[in-house]
Amino acid sequence: MTWPQAIQQFEGYLKLEKSLSPNSVEAYGRDVRKFQQFLVFERIHARPDQTTTRLLRDFLNTLTDLGLGATSQARVLSGLKAFFSFLIMEDLLKIDPTDTLEAPKTGRHLPDTLSYPEVETLLGAIDLSADEGLRTRAVLEVLYSSGLRVSELCGLRLSNIASDQSFMKVLGKGNKERLVPVGREALKHLNIYLSAVRGHLDIKSGSEDLAFLSQRGRPLSRITVFTAIKKIAALAGLRKTISPHTLRHSFATHLIEGGADLRAVQEMLGHASITTTEIYTHLDRDYLRQVITEFHPRS
Which residues are annotated as catalytic?
149, 173, 245, 248, 271, 280
Q: How far is CA 232 from the centre of its chain?
A: 16
In angstroms, the CA 107 to CA 61 distance is: 17
Contact 256, 281 (CB under 8 A): yes
**207: number of Cβ within 10 Å:** 16
Q: What is the DSSP secondary structure assignment for residue 95, as one 8-state letter?
A: S
CA dihedral in degrees (170, 59, 70, 250; nearest 10)? -50
Contact 240, 256 (CB under 8 A): no
For 175: left if phi > 0, alpha if psi spans -120 to 50, otherwise beta; the answer is: left
**259: number of Cβ within 10 Å:** 7
In angstroms, the CA 235 to CA 181 distance is: 29
Q: Which stretches does DSSP call E strand in 122-197?
A: 161-162, 167-171, 177-181
With b meaning 16 or more CB within 10 Å and e meaning fewer, what string describes 140-176?
bbbbbbbbbbbbbbbbbeeebbeeeeeebebbbeeee
